[in-house]
Chain A
Amino acid sequence: MSSSPTGRLVGARINRKEDVRILTGKGRYIDDVHGRGVLSAYFVRSVVAHGRITRIDVEAARAMPGVAAIYTGADMAAMTNPVNLLPPMPNLVGPTFPVLAVDTVRHVGDPVAIVIATDRYTAEDAGALVDVDYDVLDPVISCDDAFAPGAPQLFDDVPGNLIFTDEASFGDVEEAFASADRIVTDVLDQHRWSCVPMEGRGGVATYDQATGGLTYEASTQSAHLLRIMLAGFTNQPINQLRVVANDIGGGFGLKFAICREDIAVCAAAKKLGGSVKWTEDRNENLTSAGSAREEKLTVEAAVRNDGTLLGLRVSMDMNLGAYPGMASAFAIPKQILFMLPGPYKIPAYAYSVRVAATNKATYVALRGPWAAETLARERLLDKIADELGMSPVELRRRNLITMADQPCPMGTGVPLETMTAAETFERLVSKVDLDAIRAEQAAARAEGRLLGFGIGTAFEPAPGTAAYWANIGFPAGSEPMKMRIEADGKVTAFTSQVPHGQGHETTLAQVIGDELGVGFDDVRVVFGDTDATPYSMMGTAGSKAAMMATGAATVAAREVKAKVLEIAAHMLEASPSDLQIENSVVSVKGVPTSGVPLAQIAMGAMLAPGLMPAGVDLKLEADTSYDGETGGWSSGSHACWVEIDPDTGKIEISRYVVVEDCGTMINPGVVDGQVFGAVAMGIGGMLLEHSAYGPDGQYVAATFMDYLMPSAPEIPEIEIDHLEYQAPTMIGPRGVGEGGTVIAPAALMNAIDDALRQVGGTRIEATPVTPTRILEAMGVIPRE
């Protein structure tokens, strides 16, 4: 264990607690939950994109030995309530749909029946015998399909396949565009790609016939929200429903809230009065779990010839797939459009958006769900710089909001304070010699090689501010924590976070250890069990933990510490303000030999209360929350160097630099890990990964041979520099999990376009950037 420069736990690159079980194969993921009588579930899924179920025959399957039950959509509808996950909101039309398809299937992979059997092999054998006939309907694949006159309608209660519309305007947009020297327009057609956690979705539902209680051990990011939703859809009293999360093999947004399969598995366990396990396999995950990022944006900038931005106008279509999830239909498009002006002075801004229902799997959140805005904006800025003959650095510098400009509103009116994107940008630029890069590019061109360089910058709500979240229509909320000093002086903390790779058992123990003066190994962080942990809706999502859970841990630790010191003050005959706790011993400051072990105080409080000082609170517990103060932002700027093979179109990233600011780093190793992983995801999304559908709505990326995940050789060595700006809030850390995935696509795409520009290639307007698209852009091969 290395220690921090200050000798404290916070700031130290401490080895993670989680890794002891993870590295030795002792983690407990969903499929590791074994036990006598645990049945296996398998979903029979639609093989067509859009169709009417004309017949479903389960008799042969039901007759197979080992099959406990098969429930069709109609059976399941009798056991559950219809699903509609969208809140009442203007211009939002949420369809109501069954847990399993009853009459209509709306995407390839739509679940039509659940088979429950003694083991997975038998369940799949039986599933193969379920005979479903479909009357195939015309599919709706793109937003243009969805909005075309006479388009097939996905849902009776969603006229025109239009789930959500919104528009807003800030400042005098007409005037900005009328007075501009030029208007620069750009298009971004981002493809669909997916979260793809290495562990798919899943859960084990157990109904206890003795108590009537239902326990769902789930692969979830949001245990409490899942519990509330499950209770409603399965008619289970909430106080008889417990959700438990143990090790979770990644989420990236996919495992937020609830999925239809969760409901079916719980309803089946309740009906059977036993235990049912569903482990999503990779084929199901790629086909059915949902995917992200299918947005098409047209952005126009009103610009003066000196590079000053006067205004932006944006229109966006988002392809939501079928069966809208809780937040994706409105909160993600609003986040995209509220963040789009970014860290730049944009006096006038207008947006409009249409969200379409289509015959694809559900649109889900993916790490930095608003990322399309940074990609669209940063690409537009490079296009403007190119048209003005200005360097991309100079154009940004002219328009960035610096710390000196704040407090001030961003382009969407959201107040900004202590937002450091411009400062990360300047740090990045100080590491980059643009003239040398241009010279190197010219020299390479002379040898027939093609080099590109790109940058991107952004800030992110990590956790954001109350004003920001009010605009999105999603509550910011406070963060709870319960804490208890045990009889031996060790500490148990109960968080509402549901960590799935973020390392909160480690980082929160660092925070609590410092606050309470106890050792890292003396703190245990309990998560994921709704019977034990305090309620919050979010769980682990939205880059909130670094500030919010740290704040909750801090205020809870201070509360229990005050109680300890009050007791110790009597024992040591000193004022509480003169006492300290160090190495689990309470002593008078400056008189370490005066100490009383924390364990002695705790054991006395619990086991010998009569011997303790009278009139003091002996309950060494806290149940409190942190309000987030004024909130905060994280920022980052990236630079990317690429080399493109002009013969094959292959893109190689030769260098990658990140400057990020997430405030105080609790554990620099964890921070670096989040940045490396997030950047890798952004690179994979732009170059390799594609949740692709054919023109008939068939899903054509159902294996890892078709859906290409980045492996180690495809990802460059990434250099990171941290700004560690200390905001005036009591709590210093900010979230760092998402920015890499938001900014990397922008820096990478700008580098690719920079390379293409040098040889007269056309701009890339549609992703992913495959070698084929590069060769098309270079005119080497004709466009498809």
Chain B
Amino acid sequence: MTSPMTQRQITVTVNGAARAATVEPRRTLADFLRHDLDLTGTHLGCEHGACGACTVVLDGAAVRSCLILAVQADGHEVTTVEGVADDGAMHPIQQALWDNQAFQCGFCTPGFVMSIYGMVGEGCGRLSRQEIREELSGNICRCSGYQKIVDGVEAALSGEVTA
């Protein structure tokens, strides 16, 4: 139930553009992105912070957008899967994942892309395959068995990839 008394005015920089909106305090960042900004690339796989499908990058760090309220993002910078590359192009991380056929149904995919984007942005450097698996342990994929996601990340990290 919505009422004007409970609405908050927020401005969030999303994929480089300032986006102002009026939201209920209980609205999650994920729902704000998906339903208010129509950025439906951020998916919801569990809504309790366990599966990682809703991962976005907030001020440079990968976070679960289902566990953050939109009002908490007021004044902050958010990058979603729609913002990592120019429209019609792929970021080198996406390209490496594509080249390695990392994914199948694609529902978890934006969350993985953003977790990897966050990792790279924080300067993870070259990692062993086991280290990559540990880094990705916060994202669940039901289709792939993870092996080709690891292949893709390994390939991305072996190149000159910057977030």
A residues near B (Cβ < 8 Å) are 13, 15-16, 18-29, 31-32, 34, 64-66, 119, 121-122, 125, 196-199, 247-250, 252, 281-282, 500-503, 669-670, 672-673, 675-681, 703-705, 709, 711-713, 715, 717-718
**B89 — nearest CB in chain A belongs to which residue?**
A24
Whether B46 and A23, one on each chain, are in contact in the complex, defined by CB atoms closer than 8 angstroms, is: no
Q: Is B72's CB within 8 Å of the partner chain A?
A: no
- Given known A-B contacts A247-B106, A677-B143, A717-B147, A199 and B45 have beta carbons under 8 A apart: yes
B143 CB to nearest A CB, Å: 5
Main secondary structure of the interface of A (DSSP, over half): loop
Contact A15 B99 (CB under 8 A): yes
Closest 4 CB pairs of A and B: A25-B41, A249-B107, A22-B106, A676-B145
Contacts A29-B107, A718-B145 hold; do A13 and B51 have CB atoms under 8 A apart?
A: no
Contact B142–A705 (Cβ < 8 Å)? no
Interface residues of B in 119-163 (CB under 8 A from A): 129-130, 132-134, 136-150
Query: Which B residues lie within 8 Å of A676 (CB)?
Result: 144-148
Closest chain B residue to A33, Cβ basis: B40
- Do A250 and B41 have beta carbons less than 8 Å apart? no
Q: Which of A20, A34, A677 contacts B40 (CB 8 A)?
A: A34
Q: Which of B35, B85, B104, B130 contacts A34 (CB 8 A)?
A: B35
The reply to whether the CB of B65 lies closer than 8 angstroms to some CB of chain A is no
Minimal beta-carbon separation of A675 from chain B (angstroms): 8
Task: Determine chain B's interface SS by DSSP, over half rule.
Answer: loop
Inter-chain CA distance A119–B46, complex, in Å, is 18
Q: Are A198 and B105 in contact (CB under 8 A)?
A: yes
A–B complex contacts, Cβ < 8 Å, 26 sampled: A15-B101, A22-B103, A25-B42, A25-B80, A25-B110, A28-B40, A29-B43, A34-B40, A197-B142, A198-B142, A199-B107, A249-B106, A249-B107, A281-B44, A282-B47, A282-B48, A672-B147, A673-B104, A673-B145, A676-B146, A676-B147, A679-B145, A705-B50, A709-B51, A711-B138, A712-B146
Docked pose: A260 CA to B88 CA in angstroms:
40
Residues of chain B within 8 A (CB-CB) of A198 are: 43, 45, 51, 53, 105, 107-108, 140-143
Option from B48, B104, B150 in Cβ contact (under 8 Å) with A501: B104
Residues of B within 8 A of A24 (CB): 41, 81-82, 85, 90, 94
Contact flag A704-B145 (CB < 8 Å), given A65-B1, A709-B140: no
Docked-complex contact B44 and A13, CB < 8 angstroms = no
Contact B142–A681 (Cβ < 8 Å): yes
A501 pairs with B146, CB closer than 8 A: no
B71 close to A (CB within 8 Å): no
User: Which residues in window 74-109 of B have CB below 8 A to A?
Assistant: 80-82, 85, 90, 94, 97-101, 103-109
Q: How far is the CB of B128 from chain A (nearest CB, A)?
A: 12
Please determine whether B24 and A121 come into contact, CB atoms closer than 8 angstroms: yes
Q: Residue among B81, B105, B109, B136 with the most chain A CB within 10 A?
A: B105
Check if B113 is an interface residue, CB within 8 A of chain A. Answer: yes
Residues of chain B in range 49-72 having any CB-CB distance to chain A below 8 Å: 50-51, 53
Say whether B40 contacts A25, CB under 8 Å. Answer: yes
Given A250-B104, A252-B142, A500-B105, list of 8 further CB < 8 A pairs?
A15-B99, A19-B98, A27-B107, A282-B48, A501-B106, A503-B104, A676-B144, A705-B50
B142 touches A250 (CB 8 A): yes
Choice from B50, B107, B145 contacting A197 with Cβ under 8 Å: B107
A711 x B139 contact (CB < 8 A): yes
Is the CB–CB distance between A13 and B101 below 8 Å? yes
B19 in the interface, Cβ–Cβ < 8 Å?
no
Given B35, B45, B103, which contacts A282 in the complex, CB threshold below 8 Å? B45
- Residues B46 and A703 in contact, CB atoms below 8 Å apart: yes
Bound state CA distance, A501 and B103, in angstroms?
Answer: 8
* B101 touches which of A16, A20, A26 (Cβ 8 Å): A16
Separation of A282 and B46 alpha carbons in the complex (Å) = 5
* CA–CA, A502 and B143, complex, Å: 9
Q: Is the CB of A23 within 8 A of B98?
A: yes
Beta-carbon contact of B82 and A25 below 8 Å:
yes
Contact (A31, B142) CB under 8 Å given A20-B98, A22-B109, A673-B148: no
- How far, in Å, is B142 (CB) from chain A's closest CB? 5
In contact, A713 and B134 (Cβ under 8 angstroms): yes
List B contacts of A22 (CB < 8 A): 103, 106, 109
How far, in angstroms, from A16 to B45 measured CA to CA in the complex?
Answer: 23
* A251 to chain B: closest residue by CB: B105
Q: Does B26 lie at the interface of the complex (its beta carbon under 8 Å from any beta carbon of A)? A: yes
Partner of B106, one of A27, A34, A670, A703: A27
Which B-chain residue is minimally distant from A503 (CB atoms)?
Answer: B104
Are B44 and A197 touching (Cβ within 8 A)?
A: no
For the complex, what is the distance from the CA of A756 to the CA of B110, rounded to whole Å? 42
Cα separation A715 to B47 with both chains bound (whole Å): 24
Given A22-B103, A198-B140, A676-B144; A712-B47 close (CB under 8 Å):
no
Most chain B CB within a 10 A radius of its CB, from A196, A249, A670, A681? A249
Residue interface bits B11-50, CB-to-A below 8 A is 1, else 0: 0000000000000101100000011001111111111101
Shortest Cβ distance from residue A690 to the other chain B in the assembled complex, whole angstroms: 16
